[in-house]
Structure 1
């Protein structure tokens, strides 16, 4: 449980140029202590907002805690963005971390972040929010897993987006006699030894697991239904995201083509030689696949590319090109649904299993409902979460003081900004809430300026002194 006052969190001069925070009387419920929840918790504590914080697991970390029930993590997982772009505001990753940290390093980093800002003492662990129902007056009735019911003035949901597997219905699945399961159940390539394995899906986890299958299985197959570009994690020996973002400089004399499609195509080569379909869309119109190891395994015959699955048979699969294989295991790396299971889904409009929110944060018709982390972009997420958390605090302060609340409410109700940056993202569930990171950052910066809210800096949040 967290209860702070504005005098504890802010000086009389305000924080980082902002007006002093009020003495908050309203109390909020925060759901989840993964990365998004921790960022939100830090912002609430700093602002002096009263809130209760619930995490169903026994520690912070979200999906990066491989032992948390339902976590999609697997032993070979690494960050797909580099340590140079992926850190929390004010808390860089350790210098001795590799360019792309392992899942366990990310877990440890997240926990170190929580300790550095003394956040864990605010969290009630081992308790989940089972149901949250709106009440008159923009309040919420929250039912906990303990059976207790509490009333709050607002609800902030940060439960994460990769907990609810998307399991497509494959024709013939009922007749298949092998092991058919979603990749959320996968933990280690060792479990594939001595087996013939089919991986379905070419997202980042799908290609990782395909590489595990190539190393461990007797034979591994990789089913993809469309042409993607596979982006190397290093260009010129430097982390790709850091290089493209200008965080690190290219070696002297090294020049990338202006067109990123051309750059990646030149570096990677003709994918059809490996049995993969040619890319059918521009690089920036879909979530980047940060993996070229899969191409290594395809080139060595340890992995065999296949088109879309047409149907399963009792012993294997038939593909769209008419070819057929026998396999012992079918692993569906087919993504996740962005669900809020403790809310009646009718409370929000949905598009392809994604809630439609103003700036991917605010419920338009429920003034006191906020969602953090339900957004997709080709960028590291944690700093964007911090910017989103600032929007929540901005609105919470407006609710408390009434200052410019009408103006903010009108934006939440009617503002329809185009956050795509003019990029025609793929029409798929993964991209239903996709935004262009640069466009999003620019829009949020203008919003902060409009409401006299300070920009986040590396010193916005003081670390705990004990």
Structure 2
């Protein structure tokens, strides 16, 4: 999607590409949403994607049984709802199908296999230069859409390198069928750890899940209604901390006291904690019942990995056949975005939602709101409107029409 003029430099050197509109980095749901919103304003763009496909995280780094944790109407992108025949909680394959249909509907055609090495603003020219292995893209606007989950987090655990069995991150985990009748240590008790443990149970494996930190476990539904939907409705009328208290009271009635099973709750409420740290509460889809029955064993923190298993902080030592790291993901923005003060060292916007979508010098972010696809849709709409307001003014000026010619001649 979008138009550009290219000038080939000396043989073997990158080509300079002037982009008529913003450069969007990332062809996941966030990048697609911004591109679609821009198209509604008649603004072209170029999407750069480091892999060979859209939604690569959903296609290649998610397990087979994954479904959306929130009802589909909370996860749809702007201007196109999910098909009515999709279930309330679509599968990952249905989401991927939806995203392909979305790209087709809005004529979005990313440039694939364009891994960004650096992106930097030049204050003299007033333009962003985004470098990949074979192109230099130039534009007044840059939209960072690589998201919160760009790279898997691999923790440093003493002895992990000497373990004799397979060690995989959940980004490479597909199905528990590979672990039938095997004892598996799952390190992490968030949504990924819970779901991997549940999947292992359903494939006759024996999961031991490490709950080193506190965690909020909420039912995905309460009394036939989405817990998230209930929270959103209550937040329209009541303050956040009161909503958290009401949800925890209802959760205690539905799930019981999770502390009894080794899942200690934080002192801060689930949605207040989410806003402050980005830590998402677990929406239970069946793992807690397996924990209560003893099919999923909850362990305290790991002290050390051994060749045949692990030693735990409570003194226990057990043997395992495999280890799954459910240790989450992180942003990779600091590795390639240079000379910018918008992001923290962790690659998250310094300004919290709802104002973290815009920086200085034509820089924007989408997919970093810590509010899932609902936050993505909100930020994408704002970004497109803001760029469209500038586009209308700039596109007719001689300076804008001719600046790329001068810039390319001098590059």
Deviation, 1:262, is 0.9
What's the secondary structure of 2:72's corresponding residue? coil
CA contact under 8 A between 2:129 and 2:139: conserved in structure 1?
yes
Please identify, of 256-265 and 312-321, the stretch whose mean Cα deviation from structure 2 is larger.
256-265
Distance 1:272 1:388, change over 3 A: closer
Aligned partner of 2:90 among 94, 101, 105: 101
Could you tell me which residue of structure 2 aligns to residue 81 of structure 1? 70
Deviations 1:70-98 (A, max 9, x none): x3211011101111322223322222222
The alignment's TM-score, normalised by the length of structure 2, stands at: 0.79
> For the aligned residues, what is the CA RMSD?
2.8
Q: Is 1:138 equivalent to 2:126 in the alignment?
A: yes
Please identify, of 162-171 and 124-133, the stretch whose mean Cα deviation from structure 2 is larger.
124-133
Higher relative contact order (CA 8 A, sep 6+): 2
Distance 1:288 1:35, change over 3 A: same
Distance between the aligned counterparts of 2:33 and 2:283, measured in 1?
25
CA contact under 8 A between 1:199 and 1:210: conserved in structure 2?
yes
Q: Is 1:125 equivalent to 2:118 in the alignment?
A: no
Distance between the aligned counterparts of 2:86 and 2:54, measured in 1?
20
Could you tell me which residue of structure 1 aligns to residue 2 of structure 2? 2
Distance 1:350 1:36, change over 3 A: closer
Distance between the aligned counterparts of 1:115 and 1:400, measured in 2?
24
Distance between the aligned counterparts of 2:143 and 2:341, measured in 1?
14
Could you tell me which residue of structure 2 aligns to residue 168 of structure 1? 155
Deviation, 1:258, is 6.7
Deviation, 1:104, is 0.5
Distance between the aligned counterparts of 1:316 and 1:166, measured in 2?
21
The alignment's TM-score, normalised by the length of structure 1, stands at: 0.71
Alignment of 1:13-412 (within 5 A): 27-64=21-58, 66=59, 71-116=60-105, 118-120=106-108, 122-135=109-122, 136-145=124-133, 147-246=134-233, 259-284=246-271, 285-286=273-274, 287-340=280-333, 343-344=336-337, 347-348=340-341, 350-351=343-344, 353-358=346-351, 359-364=355-360, 367-377=361-371, 381-397=372-388, 399-400=390-391
| Matched positions, count | 362
What's the secondary structure of 2:35's corresponding residue? helix
CA contact under 8 A between 2:164 and 2:308: conserved in structure 1?
yes
What's the secondary structure of 1:305's corresponding residue? strand
CA contact under 8 A between 2:186 and 2:193: conserved in structure 1?
yes
What's the secondary structure of 2:73's corresponding residue? coil
What's the secondary structure of 1:27's corresponding residue? coil
Deviation, 1:143, is 2.3
Distance between the aligned counterparts of 1:372 and 1:362, measured in 2?
9
Distance 1:276 1:144, change over 3 A: closer
Deviation, 1:165, is 1.0
Could you tell me which residue of structure 1 aligns to residue 16 of structure 2? none
Deviation, 1:200, is 0.9
User: Which residues of structure 2 form unaligned runs of 5+?
Assistant: 5-18, 235-242, 275-279, 395-411
Deviation, 1:395, is 3.6
Please identify, of 387-396 and 220-229, the stretch whose mean Cα deviation from structure 2 is larger.
387-396
Distance 1:26 1:215, change over 3 A: closer
CA contact under 8 A between 1:165 and 1:336: conserved in structure 2?
yes
Distance between the aligned counterparts of 1:181 and 1:257, measured in 2?
35
Misfit runs of 4+, over 6 Å: none
What's the secondary structure of 2:84's corresponding residue? coil
Deviation, 1:211, is 0.7
Deviation, 1:373, is 0.8
Deviation, 1:210, is 1.1
What's the secondary structure of 2:330's corresponding residue? coil
CA contact under 8 A between 1:33 and 1:60: conserved in structure 2?
yes
CA contact under 8 A between 2:333 and 2:347: conserved in structure 1?
no
Deviation, 1:62, is 3.9
